[in-house]
Amino acid sequence: MVTIIKRSTPILERQARRESNARTYARNLGLALSEAKGIYVKDVDGKTYIDCLACAGALPLGHNHPAVKQAIYDALNNDLPMQTLDLVTPIKDEFVSELFESLPAEFSKNAKIQFCGPSGSDAVEAALKLVKTATGKRAVGAFRGGYHGMTHGSLALMGSLGPKMQVPGLMPDVHFFPYPYHHRYPIGAGNFEQDYQQCSQYLETALGDPEGGTLPLAGLVMEIVQGEGGVIPAPDAWVREVRRITQERNIPLIADEVQTGLGRTGTLYAFERSGITPDVIVLSKAVGGSLPLAVILYKDELDVWQPGAHAGTFRGNQLAMATGLATIRYIRENQLVTYVEQMGMHFQMQLWQIQTEFSHFIADVRGRGLMVGVELSAQVRHLARQLQAECLDRGLIVELGGRNSSVVRFLPPLIIEAPQIDDVCQIFRDAVAAISQENL
């Protein structure tokens, strides 16, 4: 059994004593951080770690990127208002213009934006209210394995049962559909192509069966790459089928891009790869450039809700708009999506080599861009937390996700370099080797 050296014991003990029992990352990572730069963080005892969590993807340019820091300095030096509710400022206007320019033209030319409370959960709630108001329907569709937030409405859309089990009265009328997963066929077909075709057939049949029990949908929410669900990329052909099915039935398609938006998967938006255009896009994390911000963008035909239909005190976070503007501009001007695609392939190639060496331990390597997952074999998946701990002790921060928390998730800053990826993979390989040796 791996034992992590407990550094900074007093401060960690105070955290455990004073903070909520609901805390999560702090339980498994046990860090007290004092400094951060790029892909590296340092704890209060001086140990340096490679950060492959990046605040769950909210730090696309890493920690304390010069462009982000300069945006903050400029805002503060110019006495920019800190919060403005939904009043406009030059920074807000510039941010919205840059964001619209980053979107596919066929979407942005007739799009509206709503600023939400500063979390992805609140943006999902806004999207649900939007489509329910526009369609007059109450039911919502979601996919197994999906993750859309922790508030009552968004939690009801979650595939994972754990956070939902002890919370009564979640949003009713949520219908779940199978999501293609080539390592664990949800339909049970003989091969992946048959399986994802059957997933789309299942969706179409369920929506068209008058005796099937599925109410007419106000909207269908999907992640193009499921993140917390285990880094599961959806096949492009299946995404196109979902878009066809929803269009034919006038069901607004909501693309949850909270974790994938702005370059994470090797395109600015994950839905672009398949060539579809959703009706609603949900953004948070990267869109604020490391500060809290969340928005929904949607086709103007849905804009029938009334003033005050969705509000929030902190939806006018001007510093986040300044850092978000700087981040979007940096990603676009430096063609970071091409770089992310290249680095993502380099990452997966390294991990495939490790899989070949430890085929009994690693069942699958998958991902898009710099959103990469390694699924452990069924016989060793109970060792996932131990593997995470071994990585941490060796100076690598990773998170777990997926079924049975058996997927090691890599979500590094988008500016990570090839030699740094090599370092990550070497640490991971050594951690796998150590755990394998201990459990032979």
Q: Which string of DSSP letters, residue by residue, matches 265-328? A: TSSSSGGGGGT---SEEEE-GGGGTTS---EEEEEGGG--PPTTSS--TTTTBHHHHHHHHHHH
Q: How far is 266 from 414, CA to CA, in rounded Å?
A: 10
CB atoms within 10 A of CB 258: 28
Domain at 174, CATH number: 3.40.640.10
C-alpha to C-alpha distances, 369 to 265, 269, 276, 320, nearest whole angstrom: 4, 11, 19, 25
CA dihedral 277, 320, 54, 63 (to 10 degrees): 130
| Paired tokens of 318 | 């001007």
Domain at 47, CATH number: 3.90.1150.10
Within a domain: residue 2? no
Domain-ending residue, one of 333, 348, 374: 333
Strands 280-283 and 253-256: parallel
| Paired tokens of 127 | 């999207």
* Number of separate domains in the chain: 2
Question: What is the band of 190 on the pLDDT scale with cuts at 50, 70, 90?
Answer: low
Question: Which pLDDT score is estimated for 189?
Answer: 61
Range of the structural domain that residue 155 is part of: 68-333
Evaluate whether 221 touches 157 at the Cβ level (below 8 Å): yes
Question: Which pLDDT score is estimated for 193?
Answer: 78
What is the chain's Cα-based Rg? 22
pLDDT digits (tens, 9 = 90+) for 215-263: 999 999 999 999 999 999 999 999 999 999 999 999 999 999 999 999 9
- What does the mean pLDDT of the chain come to? 95
Q: How far is 379 from 393, CA to CA, in rounded Å?
A: 24
Question: What is the band of 187 on the pLDDT scale with cuts at 50, 70, 90?
Answer: confident
Dihedral sign of CA atoms 312, 318, 319, 324 in order: positive
C-alpha to C-alpha distances, 140 to 37, 129, 208, 268, nearest whole angstrom: 41, 11, 15, 27
Q: How far is 99 from 89, CA to CA, in rounded Å?
A: 15
pLDDT at 5 over 60: no
Q: How far is 153 from 282, CA to CA, in rounded Å?
A: 14
Question: What is the band of 1 on the pLDDT scale with cuts at 50, 70, 90?
Answer: very low
Within a domain: residue 417? yes
- Whether residues 115 and 29 fall in one domain: no
- Whether residues 21 and 158 fall in one domain: no
- Whether residues 106 and 249 fall in one domain: yes
- Whether residues 50 and 97 fall in one domain: no
pLDDT digits (tens, 9 = 90+) for 85-103: 999 999 999 999 999 999 9
Element (H, E) at 125: helix 120-135
Question: Which pLDDT score is estimated for 182?
Answer: 82
Q: How far is 228 from 82, CA to CA, in rounded Å?
A: 32
Question: Which pLDDT score is estimated for 192?
Answer: 72
How large a percentage of the chain has pLDDT more than 90? 90
Q: Which of 191-195, 361-365, 424-428 has the lowest mean pLDDT?
A: 191-195
Question: Which pLDDT score is estimated for 191?
Answer: 76
Question: Which pLDDT score is estimated for 290?
Answer: 96
CB burial class (10 A; 0-12, 13-18, 19+) of residue 220? buried
Evaluate whether 149 touches 121 at the Cβ level (below 8 Å): yes
Question: Which pLDDT score is estimated for 183?
Answer: 80
Amino acid at 169: G
- Whether residues 321 and 419 fall in one domain: no
Amino acid at 420: Q
Domain-ending residue, one of 333, 355, 372: 333
Of residues 432 and 163, the one with the higher pLDDT is 432
Evaluate whether 304 touches 266 at the Cβ level (below 8 Å): no
- Whether residues 309 and 429 fall in one domain: no
CB burial class (10 A; 0-12, 13-18, 19+) of residue 110? exposed
Q: How far is 100 from 104, CA to CA, in rounded Å?
A: 8
Question: Which pLDDT score is estimated for 71?
Answer: 98
Q: How far is CA 95 from the centre of its chain?
A: 21
pTM of the model: 0.96
Whose structure tokens read 């993979």? Answer: 425
pLDDT digits (tens, 9 = 90+) for 36-82: 999 999 999 999 999 999 999 999 999 999 999 999 999 999 999 99
Burial 429-439 (b: 16+ CB within 10 A, else e): bebbebbbeee
How large a percentage of the chain has pLDDT more than 70? 97
| Paired tokens of 251 | 């069901």
Question: What is the band of 9 on the pLDDT scale with cuts at 50, 70, 90?
Answer: confident
